A and B are shown apart, each in its own frame.
Chain A
Amino acid sequence: MNEDGFHFTFEAAITLLLAISLVAALHFPGPENIDSLLIKQKQHDLLSVWILARNFNAEEMAGDFRFVFPQSQGFIEIDGEKVFIGEQSGEISVETAAFVGEDLKLREIAVGVYR
C-alpha cells in the first residue's frame, strides 16, 4: 500500500500549537499616562483651597470645579449634600477631606470627577 503525506506525532502537533499560541499571545505594552495623577492632584487642590478659604458656598464651589475641570463632569459633597455638575456617568475618582468647622464639629467635603 502506497501511503504518501505527512504524519504528525502528538509531540509535533503540541509544538505547532505552542508556536501558534505564543505568536497569538504576543502584545506590546501600551503607552502609560499619568492623567489619573493629574486629576487627583487637581482634586486635592480644590479641597485644599476650599478649606484654606473657609467659604463653603455650593454655587461658588461648583464654579471652581468648572474652572479647574472645564471638560469634565462630577459632583461636590458638603456635609452629605451633593451638588451635581453635568451628566453623571463613567468611571469616577472621588477625593475627600475632613476639617474642624467654626462650630468645632468635624465636617467633610468631597469632590468627584468622572473620567
Chain B
Amino acid sequence: MRNNGILFSTDLIVAFIAVSTIALMIVFVYSGYFGAVSDNVKAFSRDREAIFFMDYLVKTSSNELPAIGAAFFDTEKKRVVGNLLDKEALKDYTKEIGQLELEHWVVKGIFLEYENGNKDWIFGGREEGCVIYERFVLMNGAVMEKAKIGAVFCE
C-alpha cells in the first residue's frame, strides 16, 4: 500500500518557529541597532565639530577671520602660540560678525569670561536652547589675563 500525505513533526515545527523568530529578531534588532549607531554618529559629528571649532580658535591664527583662529602670532619666533590669544585682533575683526554658520551648528556668539566674573562678548550673545563650549586661555594684551573663551553653538 502506498501512503502519500504530509508528515507532521513537532521538532520541525519548533525549529521552524525558532528560526523564524531568530530571523525576525535579527531584522528588527539590526534595523534598530543601525538606527541607534546612525544617531550616535550624527551626535558625535555635531559634538566633534563644536569641540574642534574651539580647538582651532585657540590653537591657530587667521588674519582674515580671527573668530576661527585667534591664537597670537609671534613675529619674532615666526610661529603661532597656542592658548595665547590676540585680544585686539579678535575684538577688532570680529565685532561686525552676526553669526558663523558651520555644517551642523550656527555660532551665535563668542565671549571672554575672566576670573573676576566679568564677561566680555566679542560678538552676539546668549541664546535659549544653545550649547556653550569653553576653553581656558591667556589673553595677550597690555596686561596678560587668564580667561575662558566660550562660543554659543545653536542648531
Tell me if B104 counts as interface (CB < 8 A to partner A): no
Within 8 A of A (CB), among B19-51: 19, 21-22, 25, 29, 32-33, 36-37, 39-40, 43-44, 47-48, 51
Tell me if A16 counts as interface (CB < 8 A to partner B): yes
Closest to A63 in B: B115
Picked from B10, B47, B136, the residue with its CB within 8 Å of the CB of A33 is: B47
Closest to B81 in A: A52
Picked from B10, B15, B29, B43, the residue with its CB within 8 Å of the CB of A26 is: B29
User: Contacts A31-B40, A32-B40, A45-B136 known; A19 to B18 CB distance under 8 Å?
Assistant: yes
Interface of A is mostly: helix
* Cβ-defined contact, B10 with A46, below 8 A: no
A sample of 19 inter-chain contacts (CB < 8 A) reads: A8-B10, A15-B19, A16-B14, A16-B18, A18-B18, A19-B18, A26-B25, A28-B32, A29-B36, A31-B39, A34-B48, A38-B51, A41-B54, A41-B135, A45-B83, A48-B83, A49-B136, A52-B81, A67-B148
What is the bound-complex CA distance between A45 and B71, given in angstroms?
A: 13
Closest to A47 in B: B83
A26 to chain B: which residues have CB within 8 Å?
Answer: 25, 29
A interface residues with partner B (beta carbon < 8 Å): 6-9, 11-12, 15-16, 18-19, 22-23, 26, 28-29, 31-34, 37-38, 41-42, 45-46, 48-49, 52-53, 63-64, 67-68
* Cβ-defined contact, A67 with B18, below 8 A: no
* Cβ-defined contact, A34 with B44, below 8 A: yes
What is the bound-complex CA distance between A36 and B29, given in angstroms?
A: 29
CB distance from A52 to the nearest CB of B (A): 5
B interface residues, how many (CB within 8 angstroms): 38
Tell me if B109 counts as interface (CB < 8 A to partner A): no
A22 to chain B: which residues have CB within 8 Å?
Answer: 22, 25
* Cβ-defined contact, A53 with B146, below 8 A: yes
Picked from B21, B54, B138, the residue with its CB within 8 Å of the CB of A49 is: B138
What is the bound-complex CA distance between A15 and B83, given in angstroms?
A: 61
Tell me if B84 counts as interface (CB < 8 A to partner A): yes
Tell me if B89 counts as interface (CB < 8 A to partner A): no
Tell me if B100 counts as interface (CB < 8 A to partner A): no
B14 to chain A: which residues have CB within 8 Å?
Answer: 8, 12, 15-16
A12 to chain B: which residues have CB within 8 Å?
Answer: 10-11, 14-15
What is the bound-complex CA distance between A38 and B18, given in angstroms?
A: 47
* Cβ-defined contact, A41 with B55, below 8 A: yes
Picked from B37, B54, B82, B115, the residue with its CB within 8 Å of the CB of A48 is: B82
